[in-house]
A and B are shown apart, each in its own frame.
Chain A
Amino acid sequence: DIQMTQSPSSLSASVGDRVTITCRASQGISNYLAWFQQKPGKAPKSLIYAAYSLQSGVPSKFSGSGSGTDFTLTISSLQPEDVATYFCQQYDTYPRTFGQGTKVEIK
């Protein structure tokens, strides 16, 4: 199975900060990488697919990049409504696997 490793596991940043989360795959997955946001007590929400394509309705402050084994999710200007846990997932190979999550908080 492909292992997905996110870093950091948690972060605390100020409102307006640029935040970057990384996700590394244990083997190449081309660009078959998705990002999800899960707010406390809620279901996950799809943010990005194909490493950098925004799902419909997702604000442009979210962006993704990367290919192969190394990927990033960036929030350009952190806002209180962005407090959540963010997960990456590879869909190149079954079983689909998720990263362990990155919890984002406001400092």
Chain B
Amino acid sequence: EAQVTQNPRYLITVTGKKLTVTCSQNMNHEYMSWYRQDPGLGLRQIYYSMNVEVTDKGDVPEGYKVSRKEKRNFPLILESPSPNQTSLYFCASSLRVAGSYEQYFGPGTRLTVT
């Protein structure tokens, strides 16, 4: 089944404790992206990757890191999480970098930082 998977689905952590949210897609998609969803703000892009070893900042990259060492994986790293990073996070992928290709979303990771 074609899908985007994220782990963990739920995470409660404390300020400053490094964490990684994994994202994997099995569709051989070039483009992958991370979003955060906050009430009243919709989805905002954190980072995106156009292909292996090619990443760039989205609208709200502060406090986050990403890597793209393999085509299928695009982990999101929070080196020192803070309470303002409490949010619902979505990973997405699409076949090509630009144009009319729709994105496929993972199920989401709900992160709480205390």
Binding between chains A and B: no
B→A interface (CB under 8 Å): none
A→B interface (CB under 8 Å): none
